[in-house]
Amino acid sequence: MEPYVMALDQGTTSSRAILFDQSGGIVSRAQYPFRQIYPQPGWVEHDPMEIWATEKRALAEAVSLAHIDPKKIAAIGITNQRETTILWDAATGEPVCNAIVWQCRRTAGICDGLKAAGLGPAVTEKTGLLIDAYFSGTKLKWLLDNVPGLRQRAERGELRAGTVDSWLIWNLTGGAAHVTDYSNASRTMLFNIRTLRWDEELCRALEIPLCLLPEPCPNCWEYGRVAPGIPGLETLAGIPICGSAGDQPAALFGQACFRPGQAKNTYGTGCFTLMNVGAEPVRSSHGLVTSVGWSLGGSVTYALEGSVFNAGSTIQWLRDELGLIQSAPECDRLAESVPDAGGVVVVPAFTGLGAPYWDMYARGSIFGLTRGSTRAHIARAVLDSIAYQVTDLVRAMAADAPCPMSVLRVDGGASVSDIMMQTQADLLRLGVDRPAQVETTAFGAAALAGLFCGVFSGTEELERLRRSQHVFYPQREETACAADYAQWHRAVSRCRGWIENEL
């Protein structure tokens, strides 16, 4: 009987479920979007019940579409949007407020206070991170400080907190498991990446009661089993949930980047470049962060990471807010209709700038507009902006990493854009390798679960399963690329500190 592995891929804008066979092929999939909630400028929220409802619906539909006996599903793996923070009632499982999303910048003032108190060096030394509103710790502190009654309830042990992986596992197990995996825990600003434990000093500094937090576990581990009686999932009762990783380390794993120096970039809502740096964390001096990639068989693999906050979301902005395009593919067609951006530069700092700048107060800008600028030039500038931001990350990584990068493996929705991938290869002067299996994040979660339950024999087998669909090599003159990249940096310098300086 051929076994299958189900991956739940809970993202920033949609919930998905994908069933994989033993060769890594997709048997079935389902996907449902959910609302983005913007209570104030710079604030982003999700409804946790909507996350659970859409993920549950996607899971049930993917099983139905597969036309297989559900008993053939050997395991479930989970991957998720990281840093998004949820707080719920321990007795009822009901969320007590909306989730604060990773993109949300409402805790910038808290971060400024922590920096002023001198906590920065301890955060970097213990967690591998920088103090920024991006990470979960200050989001949880904000909820406890600002939603009436929550701090008192938390201190009485009545509440549970976690990132989206914890929320899904709690619901799938009927509240039996309050856990997280090491990769997600390492994005909270509360987790010591060397001891693999919650850091009591940092929890005290942020006034986070330890009783709120889930138990940290390896990425390849049995967290629990699907509880009986979950409406719509009755046929899945008893299936083990035994793989979990945040979306970006899951993609690194799914891209078979198992050796130090191998790297990938995911072009999703944001862009996330990760490099496998091996068994010892690397302390960045160029604005990057270090996280746990995965823990497998008792060994920990660390990843050096740079994060871009707005990538695919910039294409969505062109479509949904500006109305310049009707669909994401139209952005490519428009961009290909002009030879270049015509001097237009878009800096998509809608929620600040991530690595290597870490400017919470930057805001989006468009430069270089003339009377001859068209929507095609703006579309081209949007695609260029994504490639420029990834170039910033890779250059910082080259300066920090103990091993050189020879190729960049790519995935994510926007990686289907040939014009952007070619621009990326031109800017990096590296090969850009797009795989045949583009669902690398979901496959990473499935692979972790499959390793635990024996569907896959080891990383060597997973490495053999990865195949390239196309490798883009540099074509454009290096001097022309350098001139455009310098123009990008001039534009970035003009949009930084926008709120802070009250320009």
pLDDT in tens, 290-331: 999 999 989 999 999 998 889 988 999 999 999 999 988 999
DSSP H stretches of helix in 128-163: 136-146, 150-155
User: pLDDT digit string (tens) for 137-188?
Assistant: 999 999 999 999 999 999 999 999 999 999 999 999 999 999 999 999 999 9
Model pLDDT, residue 499: 56
**Residue 360, pLDDT above cutoff 80:** no
Model pLDDT, residue 503: 40
CB 112 within 8 A of CB 359: no
**Residue 269, pLDDT above cutoff 90:** no
Element spanning 244, H or E: strand 240-246
User: pLDDT digit string (tens) for 123-132?
Assistant: 999 999 999 8
Measured in Å, how far apart are the chain's first and last C-alpha atoms? 65
Model pLDDT, residue 500: 52
Model pLDDT, residue 13: 87
Closest CA to 444 of 194, 167, 3, 80: 80
**Residue 283, pLDDT above cutoff 90:** no
Q: Percentage of the chain surpassing pLDDT 90? A: 83
How far CA 402 is from CA of 277, 283, 301, 303, 494, in Å, comes to 7, 11, 14, 12, 33
User: pLDDT digit string (tens) for 436-488?
Assistant: 988 899 999 999 999 999 999 999 999 999 999 999 999 999 999 999 999 99
Identify the weakest region by mean pLDDT among 57-61, 346-350, 371-375, 413-417: 413-417
Write the DSSP symbol of residue 37: B
Of the CA atoms within 13 Å of residue 121, those in its CB half-sphere come to: 2
Write the DSSP symbol of residue 304: E
Q: Percentage of the chain surpassing pLDDT 70? A: 98
Helix (H, G, I), strand (E, B) or coil at 92: coil
Q: Concatenate the DSSP letters of all residues of 307-346 into one string.
A: EES-SHHHHHHHHHTS-S-SSHHHHHHHHHTSSS-TT-EE
∠ CA 227-188-208, nearest 5°, is: 90
How far CA 473 is from CA of 335, 423, 428, 429, 501, in Å, comes to 20, 10, 10, 8, 41
φ/ψ of 461, rounded to 5, equals -65, -40
Model pLDDT, residue 497: 66
Task: Give residue 412's pLDDT band: very low, low, confident or very high (50, 70, 90).
Answer: confident
| Predicted TM-score of the model (pTM) | 0.88
**Residue 191, pLDDT above cutoff 80:** yes
Cα distance between residue 353 and residue 350, in whole Å: 8
Model pLDDT, residue 502: 47
**Environment class of 471 (CB within 10 Å of its CB; exposed 0-12, middle 13-18, buried 19+):** middle
How far CA 364 is from CA of 320, 350, 351, 438, 503, in Å, comes to 16, 5, 8, 29, 13
**Residue 489, pLDDT above cutoff 70:** yes
User: Mean pLDDT, to the nearest integer, of 55-70?
Assistant: 95
